[in-house]
Amino acid sequence: MNILITGGSGFLGARLARTLLSQGSLSLAGETQRRIESIVIADRAPPPDDLKSDARVHFAGGDLNEQIASGVIPAKGTDVVFHLAAAVSGECEADFDLGMRSNFEATHALLQACRKLGTRPTFVFASSLAVFGKLPNEPMPEIIEDRTLPTPQSSYGIQKYIGEQMVADFTRKGFVRGRSVRLMTVSVRPGRPNGAASGFLSGMIREPLAGIKAAAPVPPETLVALSSPARTVEGIIRAAQVTDEQWGPLLGLNLPSFRITVGEMAKSLERVAGKAATDLLDWTPDEAILKLVRTWPGNVAYARAKALGLEPDASFDDVVRDYIRENPQAVKLPVKA
């Protein structure tokens, strides 16, 4: 089996690649397990050293649109595409053209290239919770279901929803076997902050654990829908595995999440790392972030994902402890056993 991961050098892409390599094989759409022969990682930056050293990993470096236009990706014989590459929410609000090129044009070009392969590859598209949003002067739906009408309130959300619709139509026409999974806000992300408006939902845990002051720019009562890195990657892989019948309608699927307030996240941090950690949180409001966060739903149902055997994390305390276990070099404060 030959796999392409766009954005494969990023945090989620690299974690997805490691998980697949560890498995060694993959079943697509309910078919027999097949050995993974190669994983092509397409990204501007090279993958981490552990992936570069694996003989099954091949790096396609450069601008994604240019790589597609030149025929570098997807290569002939590609069986499955995990399309994770994207410009993130804050970037898209600041630079409209960047968002359209990275999120709309690249997705359309990649789908067209998969169509030209003539082999109906499986195409897993990383969409986002941002396809939902609070309409001005109207209440947020009490609960967001898989079939709730998306009403995105950001350029990023609109671009992701357009992507979902393109994946659905290319699937309906038989060009690809499409799966659009709506990722929840992923926390805790290791490494450096990115340009996502939701980035503080990782930073407010990651930075204090490293002994660094961090912004918590929204009120403590702000409700959010979160998923850990592990559960997110699990959902992305599961989407490729299920049959068309199990997948059901050609709609985006809400990955599992748990409901938590930003204040409760801080309490989890304190339970795990003590008051020294939460004393590093700066609760000064940021109006630009607040403007976006106020449009995000916090109560998200995931009936379709549950039917596929997917479940959310049990607690945010567990998520924080998993981050500490996986990133000991980034933790400077003492933590409780």
Q: Which residues are catalytic?
A: 156
**Residue among 223, 224, 99, 80 nearest 156 (CA):** 99
3 state SS of 60: strand
217: which residues sit within 8 A by CB, 6+ positions away? 200, 283, 284, 285, 286, 289, 290
Separation between Cα atoms, residue 99 and residue 242, nearest integer Å: 31
Q: Cβ of 182: how many Cβ atoms within 10 Å?
A: 28
Instruction: Count Cβ atoms below 10 Å from residue 87 Cβ, excluding itself.
Output: 21
- Distance, CA of 317 to CA of 319 (rounded, Å): 5
Task: Look up residue 278 and give its two tokens.
Answer: 């939460």
Going 231 to 77 to 40 to 92, the CA torsion angle's sign is negative
DSSP string, 139-180: PPPSSB-TTSPP---SHHHHHHHHHHHHHHHHHHTTS-EEEE
Contact in structure between 81 and 74 (CB atoms under 8 Å)? yes
Q: How far apart are CA 213 and CA 14, in angstroms?
A: 27
* Cβ-based neighbour number of residue 230 at 10 Å: 15
The CA distance from 7 to 222, in Å, is: 30
